[in-house]
Amino acid sequence: MRLWKQFLVSLAVVGAGLLVWGRLAPGAGDALKSAGLPESLVALVAPSSAVDGGKAGKGGQGNGQRGGFGGPTLVVTKPVQMTLVNDRLSAIGDGEAIRTVVVTPYSSGNLTQVVVKSGDRVTQGELIAQLDNDEQKIAADQARLTLDRARDKLNRYENLKAAAAVTDVAIQDARDELKAAELALQKAELDLRRRDINAPYAGIVGIISVNPGDYVTTSSEIARIDDRSEILVDFWVPERFVPKIRAGGPVSATAIARPGEVFTGSVEAVDNRIDQASRTLRVRARIDNPDDILRAGMSFSVTMHFEGDRYPSVDPLALQWSADGSYVWRIVDDKAQKVPVKIIQRNPDKVLVDAELAENEVVAIEGLQRLRSGSDVKILSVGKDAQQPPVAEGT
């Protein structure tokens, strides 16, 4: 085929394609006008665009965003709801008695008696067990005898002082002997008392693993005593709640072993640093236990309430992304407005955002691809559950 024939065929194919594109593609007329083609040629290629003469009509043509045949863009919308988050904290913690102690003897020896049994409630200073103390009793009696002799000797020397029968030095030595005897008696009586094993404070006795006749040392466990008047619960809270936690804040807890029963208390202490591995903070709560129904080692579900933060929530379909970040299309007076958003939290049915959105304002969730700022839109329908009130939820 000759070269001029090939050129004519190519020109015909390009012209046919341009004609089809101009008649079917939305916005083709505006594209041709922006390319500098005359109005007559634009009217021939894209007649639907030449009808308005390049003017911005009621269908939003001035922005180049139209429906199927030059009308406004059809969209489906859904209203914005306000959602409350970070208003409730739930965590699992372990309970411990407000005070607990492992009672051990001050000295070694054989147990002569164990006075209490497991589960007994004891008072401060009450006798729990006793070691053999015959040797200590003898030592205490001997110390008393030595003290009596030293006291008599000093009295005799002081009586003889008037007759100049004894010197001042001898009297001073007698006084020193009396003081030494008093100290020796105190030491002997202390050793005797320490053969008794007493409760350091009031509480409940745990399981006793020793029996009379056992030889025990200063490291032997005689009994474990728990003061369960209050329970300490240690739990870990996410990092985002750290600014809200304060000592003395109210706490409610439910024992896993006693569902349905709620116990109240307050924050006892807050740790001074966040765990870097889990990004959580250790918090200790004090829970009242007036009826002694809670035990150390129990697992608790701890709940705290806060004022929380309110954020607009939108349908996940409303989110769009650009080089500047995420945004949504807000529809106001049948016009599209681009609103930048910052995503706070994602849920399966909604996304919490930080944006200039008010409650019940509508955002587009379908027909987003053809929207531009200021373009005319027509709301085709409203998304499901549009009339449902905002739901407050905690995290």
* Per-residue model confidence as pLDDT tens digits over 140-160: 999 999 999 999 999 888 888
Mean pLDDT of 214-220: 92
Checking if the pLDDT of 76 tops 80, the result is: yes
CA neighbor of 301 nearest in space, from 354, 258, 337: 258
Q: So what's the pLDDT on residue 42? A: 65
What the block records as the tokens of 15 is 């012209």
CA neighbor of 355 nearest in space, from 373, 338, 340: 340
Checking if the pLDDT of 83 tops 50, the result is: yes
Q: So what's the pLDDT on residue 230? A: 92
CA 357, 383, 324 angle in degrees (round to 5)?
Answer: 40
Phi, psi torsion values for 192, nearest 5 degrees? -70, -45
Q: Which residues contact 45 (CB under 8 A, 6 or more apart)?
A: 18, 19, 22, 23, 28, 29, 32, 37
Mean pLDDT of 360-389: 76
What the block records as the tokens of 382 is 């409203």
Checking if the pLDDT of 13 tops 80, the result is: no
Cα–chain-centroid distance for residue 218? 42
Domains, the chain, with CATH or none: 3-55 (no CATH), 73-85+310-382 (2.40.420.20), 90-97+224-307 (2.40.30.170), 103-216 (1.10.287.470)
Reported as a pLDDT band with limits 50, 70 and 90, residue 50 is very low
CA neighbor of 355 nearest in space, from 395, 306, 307, 314: 314
**pTM above the 0.75 mark?**
no
Q: So what's the pLDDT on residue 66? A: 45
- Residue ranges of the alpha helices (H) in the chain? 3-24, 28-34, 39-45, 47-50, 134-160, 168-193
**pLDDT tens figures, 115-126:** 999 989 999 999
Question: 253: how many CB neighbours lie within 10 A of its CB?
Answer: 25
Reported as a pLDDT band with limits 50, 70 and 90, residue 253 is very high
Reported as a pLDDT band with limits 50, 70 and 90, residue 26 is low
Reported as a pLDDT band with limits 50, 70 and 90, residue 386 is very low
Q: For helices 168-193 and 134-160, give the axis angle rounded to 10 degrees.
A: 160
d(Cα 22, Cα 76) in Å, to the nearest integer?
A: 28
d(Cα 51, Cα 167) in Å, to the nearest integer?
A: 140
